[in-house]
């Protein structure tokens, strides 16, 4: 079997924000595939993080895709700002508004890859009728809002459901929350193609640890 080429997307939510540019450069040099950017509004989720200005600021620092996870409602008024700021993938929550289909179309119209995110309690069937508009399904394995929370194992079954729904379509399955080398293998085996890791990469904010930590998650995800 071919080796499993899972993508690792460290979340800058756990970076040292006082030296964010260096922290992004460090995960790039440490071999990450994507840079995961968690955007929180204090309304859809009970925390406030960063906005388009920060995306714009880190854009020149790395060539790696910026994987922007919008935990905001309403989302439609801000999609263009994140696209212009340099996001490559823009993911929006199915729970964030009544017009998921329209929001996904808006992302595609801006030339960006479109992702839909499901909170732990939201069934995979929420994406059944928008599946052909998706480049990525992001499955939350914690309730969004904070880094460093415990992984919810039910996410593994949900990855299997996503894989079944996707069939032959070239859609990424990404998992976000509490991911580390203890659950990466089960997630990859279930069909995950990308893993977000915040604290599992950035905890302690010592750049010398990032490469071995990314490798540990990648190695654990090797199922072939």
Please identify which residue in 7, 64, 69, 112 interacts with Zn ion, judged by CB under 5 A. 69
For position 178 contacting ligand DX5 by CB under 6 A, the verdict is yes
Nearer to Zn ion, 103 or 141 (CB): 141
- SS3 helix, strand, coil % of the chain, rounded to 5? 45, 20, 35
Binding status of residue 198 toward ligand DX5 by CB under 6 A:
yes
Q: For the stretch 187-212, what's the b/e string if a residue is b when 16 or more beta carbons lie within 10 angstroms of its beta carbon?
A: bbebbbbbbbbbbbbbeebebeebbe
Question: CA–CA separation, 196 vs 200, rounded Å?
Answer: 9
Binders of Zn ion among residues 18 to 47 (CB under 5 A) are: 38
Q: Measured between alpha carbons, how far is 68 from 83 in angstroms, rounded to an integer?
A: 9
Residue 158 binds to Zn ion (criterion: CB under 5 A): no
Return d(Cα 96, Cα 179) in angstroms, integer. Answer: 23
User: Catalytic annotation on 33?
Assistant: no
* Per-residue binder mask for ligand DX5 (CB under 6 A), 111-150, x = binder: -------------------------------x-xxxxxx-
39 φ/ψ angles, rounded to the nearest 5 degrees: -110, 120
Which residues contact Zn ion by CB under 5 A?
A: 38, 69, 176
Which residues contact ligand DX5 by CB under 6 A?
A: 11, 13-14, 36, 38, 69, 142, 144-149, 176-179, 196-200
């Amino acid at each position: 079997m071919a080796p499993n080429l899972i993508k690792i997307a460290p979340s800058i939510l756990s970076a040292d924000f006082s030296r964010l540019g260096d922290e992004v450069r460090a995960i790039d040099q440490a071999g990450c595939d994507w840079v995961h950017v968690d955007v929180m509004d204090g309304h859809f989720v009970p925390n406030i993080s960063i906005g388009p200005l920060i995306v714009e600021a880190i854009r020149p620092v790395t060539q790696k895709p910026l994987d922007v996870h919008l935990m905001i409602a309403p989302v439609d008024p801000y999609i263009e700002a994140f696209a212009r700021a340099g996001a490559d993938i823009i993911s929006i929550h199915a729970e964030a508004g009544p017009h998921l289909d329209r929001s996904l179309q808006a992302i595609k119209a801006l030339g960006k890859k479109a992702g839909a995110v499901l909170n732990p309690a939201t069934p995979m069937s929420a994406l059944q009728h928008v599946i052909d508009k998706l480049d990525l399904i992001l499955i939350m394995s914690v309730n969004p809002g904070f880094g460093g929370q415990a992984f919810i194992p039910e996410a593994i079954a949900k990855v299997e459901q996503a894989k079944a729904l996707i069939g032959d379509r070239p859609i990424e399955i990404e998992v976000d929350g509490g991911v580390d080398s203890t659950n990466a293998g089960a997630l990859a085996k279930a069909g995950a193609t990308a893993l977000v890791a915040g604290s599992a990469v950035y905890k302690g904010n010592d750049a010398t640890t990032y490469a071995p930590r990314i490798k540990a998650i990648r190695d654990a995800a090797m199922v072939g």
